[in-house]
Amino acid sequence: MNIVPQETSLVIAGAWNPAILTPPWVMSHAMEGQDPNAQMVQAFFPAGLNGAFEMPRFAMPGFQYSARMDALILLPGATSQESCALVEGVARSALRPLSHTPIGGLGFNFEFRDGAPRAEWLAAFANSQLDLVDASEGLDVTRTTMATSFSDGASQVNVQRYAEGHELVVKFNFHHQAHDTRSALEVLGERGQGRFWGHFLTASRILSRLYPEGDAADD
């Protein structure tokens, strides 16, 4: 299973004001006072459904972010401990001066894909749909999804797996409850707890047990 870097993110749900979270503001408040004029910032304007434009995404040194009215989304520049720590630090520095922002929770997200999964890995998907296939009167199944939620004590872990064609996709969401900036900062840790990277290691460990690498067992 391979990580999909562009789907690795820290999402802070809340009532945000995108007009405040401009690149100059983020650079000066969330990046230890760096001169915004001395750094290169790229802006991307992704198209949504029916050609409608979504909120812009800004690429800054070491990370990217997008500020929506309902969420602040931060993406590390690489799937590494250093990049994840950088994003957590930016999040903490952005939250402190916006102490009155209503917060709805934090989510750490990861996506893994395998374009050539073993047959035994896909068997669980086929078996879970046998009754539905029998009841569908010959319709072809194009995608099968399995979703599971559990708790690791500090967060709710939501795992979504789906098989589509010959590809296996696994998505992880580690959700932490938070109702204001103070509780959000507790999740992130004032001095940095490495929670982002820790969740990545947890997701990787689960995957290595579910879908071990190496040669398939002999029949």
pLDDT tens, residue by residue, 153-178 = 889 999 999 988 788 999 999 999 99
pLDDT tens, residue by residue, 63-105 = 999 999 999 999 999 999 999 999 999 999 999 999 999 999 9
For the chain, the structural domain boundaries read: 2-210
Longest alpha-carbon distance in the chain? 64
Q: Residue 165: its pLDDT value, please?
A: 75
Q: Residue 47: its pLDDT value, please?
A: 57
For the chain, list the strands marked E by DSSP. 2-3, 9-14, 42-44, 57-60, 63-67, 71-76, 103-114, 143-151, 156-164, 167-176
Q: Is 62 within 8 Å of 75 (Cβ atoms)?
A: no
